[in-house]
Amino acid sequence: MGKFFEAKSRTSFKGKFKIKELLVDKVDENTDVNAMLSEDEYIVIWYREISNASNRNNSTKLVEVVFENKKTGYQLRRKIPLVAMGSFPIGSIWKNGKSTEKVEFDSFSTIFKGDYSNVTYSTNKKIKGNEIRFINQDNYPVFNINNESNTMIVVHQNDIDYVIHPLLFFNALYGVSNHINRVLLTYTWAKVEEYLALNITDRANPEAVVIPKLGVVGDAVFLHYLKHDGYTKRVVRKLHSSFRANIAGNGSSPLCVESYHNQDIEIVNRPEYIGEWIT
């Protein structure tokens, strides 16, 4: 029997992609490659590290997504392209290789203080002694989550700890289009500046930014900060260099994502209660 979100109601959700249409790599070798195409329902429960697909220039980034079989509780992992993650929210339910429903969570609003006064970072893999594992095998039983390498963002508000997965924070904050996310995690910094049009300056309006060919107007805020703000450049380059070093050395990389500015951020999310914390 599945362990996740059993008491939750469902709502309609039509994912943009079908499993068989994607470049989907199997992670666990003893699982039938066609399991996700069966009549059984599978629910997305977690995101692990990001790796390169075996394509030219490593330009496709794959997120290891954990699914649970709703009937048996068996967990399997598949690598899904980063650019398709909008179709794979936690709680989305997959059957015959496509999603038509997702679990319905309550909505909450939290404030991420720009001075980090109510924010801490937590990495299970680096926890020592009596430090808290905000997400662990007991309160969120994803296999081997006690050794999770991604760094969770924990916002403390009204005596509640809101645990935010860094991939969700990255996708929501760092631009609007998935083009921004992919470019930042793929190329050298010189190429990042080229593909995000950061080197183009309008002499009549030096503060303006150019929207990249594959970007959207909503990317302008992030691009403006990245082009003109020194603090933003340091934060983004730190993420960029750390990720590229990890993936070059280990074949995959976790995420540790900071806010790229020092202003307060209102985060509207749909979390799940897990004991004393919600995620």
Give the tens place of pLDDT for each residue, 122-171.
998 877 767 788 888 888 889 999 999 999 999 999 888 899 999 999 99
Residue with tokens 């994912």: 15
Tokens representing residue 19 in the block: 């499993």
Per-residue pLDDT at 199 exceeds 60: yes
Check residue 279 and give its pLDDT. 57
The dihedral built from the CA positions of residue 203, 204, 206 and 208, taken in this order, carries a sign that is negative
Cβ distance 178 to 86 under 8 Å?
yes
Is residue 36 very low, low, confident or very high in pLDDT (cuts 50, 70, 90)?
confident
pTM of full prediction above 0.75: yes
User: How far is Cα 157 from Cα 171, in angstroms, rounded to an integer?
Assistant: 23
Tokens representing residue 278 in the block: 């919600």
Question: Is 250 in a helix, a strand, or coil?
Answer: helix
5-16 residue pLDDT tens: 887 899 999 888
Residues in the chain, overall count: 279
Q: Domain coordinates of the chain in residue numbers?
A: 10-103, 108-168+266-278, 175-256
Check residue 114 and give its pLDDT. 93
222-276 residue pLDDT tens: 999 999 999 999 999 999 999 999 999 999 999 999 999 999 999 887 767 666 5
Cα atoms in the 13 Å half-sphere on the side-chain side of 152 = 27
What radius of gyration, in Å, describes the C-alpha atoms of the chain?
19
Cβ distance 108 to 269 under 8 Å?
yes
**Looking at residue 212, what DSSP letter applies?**
P
